[in-house]
Amino acid sequence: MANCVFSAVGDGCFIETLVDEESQERSDSIGKDFRACNVGSRKCYDWRSTAIILGFEFFESLCLYGISTNLVIYLTKVIHESNTAAAAIVANWTGTNFLTPLLVALLADSYLGNYNTILFSSIIYIIGTLIVTFSATIQGSKPFIYKRYSPTTGSQKQTLFVGLYLIALGSGGVKSSLLPLGADQFDDNNPTQQEKKASFFSWFYFCINLGALVSSTLTVWIKENVSWSVGYGIASVCMALATSSFLLGTPTFRPGNLKNDAREEDINCLHEVEGSYSLVATEDEFRFLDKGANLSSLAAEGTNFASTWRLRRLAPFAQLKSLVGLFPIWLTNILYSMAYAQIYTTFIEQGRVMDKKIGSLTIPPASLVAFQVLSSMSCVLLCDKILLVTVRRFLGNGHGLTHLQRMGWALLDDLSYGHCSNPRVKEAGKCC
């Protein structure tokens, strides 16, 4: 059974899309169907799947932040890098952590699917953590803590960096696919599950911060007071636990469909109707991009428009418009990311020269990050349980503020904080 959908585009040009219901049911390699499930049935939603995903994110966050939180101290104290060089290394590695999801997401959406991407990335992730643990444990790979007795060799640094960048690659795969897999567990046609889905995003972020809190307190203390190798070993165990729980939870997952470009079974025929040959996307935004989807030149070449690979050349224009629409959102978050990156570099290096004693207790400098994590967790609970509930009642809808509106208010809050900090910075400058 098939349905034909007609969309008017341009001056008298129509595209007819033959949608085969069987082709719509293409899914990930696990082979589970998501669209055919009945709303409210067990197949549509299983709380265990979201619980496993949240647990995975907690352990993955504990692993990642267990390595990154005091990495700058490890580089200066053990690898004997200068403060400037250590901060640059951490900043580059952190940037790689957040760039790899863009590359891995292409593979996830077009070929592997979310589940397989998470699985393969987790294996790479574990290998990276084991190499970092190896570099801090095995004699010959482990630098001597006192530089005057044994300076760090090039092979020791290379071993560490190979492990770190394998972690960045594995982390990119997890970041790009875990949250979409969690979102796929909910039915967008069910208002109740829509509300649960919005809450899931908040709790996902809460689990990230919970893992960061544990790593910035317990794991950091173990590294600096027991052994660096034990601390990195804990990170490896956490990632292994996350992967094991993910595999055990496989039967409960509802994997989403691959998002490939136009295929033969998706776009069956293109009808040219009286008028222009111009085939354009139906969105009203960025109309100047419609000029690129012009069939006149292809028609002059005698192109057969029934050829699927020709149609695939035209399909990305609507996707390009969506991508261009994301650029303003990305650009506005660059400044925030620049400020956030200082938390794990300059902020911790400043903490090393502070008086960190509270009575008989000495706080590790990397544990100062815990205050930022606690404030983030408190804000998540405040927003999800009080603020958003109030906004939903006021607006009379199920979701309250949209995600874009939440980001806008958060950026406005950051700007207000920066404005209020100016007098304090000026006064501090006078004292110095």
Which pLDDT tens digit goes with each residue over 89-132?
988 898 888 888 888 888 888 888 888 899 999 999 999 999 99
Per-residue pLDDT, 32: 41
Helix axis angle for 47-68 and 113-137, nearest 10°, is 30
Hey, which of 8-17, 141-150, 369-378 has the most confident mean pLDDT? 369-378
% of the chain residues with pLDDT over 90: 12
Lowest mean pLDDT segment, chosen from 123-127, 132-136, 284-288, 413-417: 284-288
DSSP-derived secondary structure for 71-140: HHHHHHHTS---HHHHHHHHHHHHHHHHHHHHHHHHHIIIIIHHHHHHHHHHHHHHHHHHHHHHHHHSBT
Domain residue extents for the chain: 2-27+261-320, 47-259+333-401
Q: How far is C-alpha 312 from the geometric centre of its chain's CA atoms? A: 28
**At residue 65, what is the residue type?**
Y
Tens of pLDDT, residue by residue over 222-263, are 888 888 888 999 999 999 999 998 998 888 877 654 454 434
Lowest mean pLDDT segment, chosen from 202-206, 222-226, 267-271, 384-388: 267-271
More confidently predicted of 6 and 231: 231
Rounded to an integer, the average pLDDT of 260-284 is: 41
Confidence of residue 291 (pLDDT cuts 50, 70, 90): low
Helix axis angle for 316-332 and 403-431, nearest 10°, is 30
Neighbours of 287 (CB within 10 A): 11
Q: Are 258 and 111 in contact (CB under 8 A)?
A: yes
Q: Are 143 and 171 in contact (CB under 8 A)?
A: no
Per-residue pLDDT, 282: 47
**At residue 336, what is the residue type?**
Y
Residue 390 in 3-state DSSP? helix
> How distant, in Å, are the alpha carbons of 61, 273, 319 from that of 16?
46, 11, 18
Hey, which of 243-252, 294-303, 418-427 has the most confident mean pLDDT? 243-252
Per-residue pLDDT, 144: 56
The set of long-range contacts for 205-209, using a CB threshold of 8 Å and a minimum separation of 24, is 205/376, 205/380, 206/377, 206/380, 206/381, 207/54, 207/55, 207/57, 207/58, 207/61, 208/57, 208/58, 208/61, 209/61, 209/373, 209/376, 209/377, 209/380
Tens of pLDDT, residue by residue over 352-366, are 777 777 777 777 777
- The CATH class, in words, for 47-259+333-401 is mainly alpha
Rounded to an integer, the average pLDDT of 21-48 is: 45
Q: Are 336 and 418 in contact (CB under 8 A)?
A: no
Residue 58 has pLDDT above 80, yes or no: yes
H or E element that contains 8: strand 2-9
Per-residue pLDDT, 281: 42
Residue 70 has pLDDT above 80, yes or no: yes
% of the chain residues with pLDDT over 70: 66
Per-residue pLDDT, 256: 59
Helix axis angle for 154-183 and 191-214, nearest 10°, is 160
Lowest mean pLDDT segment, chosen from 15-29, 242-256, 401-415: 15-29
Residue 405 has pLDDT above 70, yes or no: yes
Q: How far apart are CA 248 and CA 225, in angstroms?
A: 35
Tens of pLDDT, residue by residue over 128-149, are 999 999 888 875 555 555 555 4
Per-residue pLDDT, 316: 60
> How distant, in Å, are the alpha carbons of 34, 365, 430 from that of 77?
51, 13, 33
Per-residue pLDDT, 169: 92
Residue 317 has pLDDT above 50, yes or no: yes
**Count of H helices and E strands in the chain?**
17, 4
